[in-house]
Amino acid sequence: MRKIMLVLTQDQGLAKIKGETKKIGENEPRVPVCLFRRDNRVLLWETKSKADGSYAFHNIAVGLECFVVAFDPNNQYNAVIQDKVIAK
């Protein structure tokens, strides 16, 4: 079975952005992670990191410049931002 991907807006496409959430150097699971367009700061996607701390955003326009914000679910630490992330 093949997945079918529809491009409905200028934000959507065949690229993805992926990463890992960590706390004090160790992978951290179930962390809320948000993806925003950088130029207009519009929220595109939200997810939570998996048990191994990994996360991925799919169906993003190739070359779209974004920033990613991860929030500590226990509210012990400030949010972490990764800026100028390019969807590939």
Instruction: HSE, CB side, 13 Å, CA atoms: give it for residue 44.
Output: 28
- What is the chain's pLDDT, residue by residue, as a tens digit (88 residues)? 666 656 578 889 989 999 999 999 999 999 999 999 999 999 999 999 999 999 999 999 999 999 999 999 999 999 999 999 999 9
Options 2.30.29, 2.40.128, 2.60.120, 2.60.40; CATH for 15-86 is 2.60.40
| Domain range annotation of the chain | 15-86
d(CA 62, CA 48): 22
- Give me the sign of the Cα torsion angle 54, 15, 42, 5: negative
Q: What's the pTM?
A: 0.88
What is 20-56 written as a DSSP string? E-EETTEE-SS-EEEEEETTT--EEEEEE--TTSEEE
DSSP class of 83: E
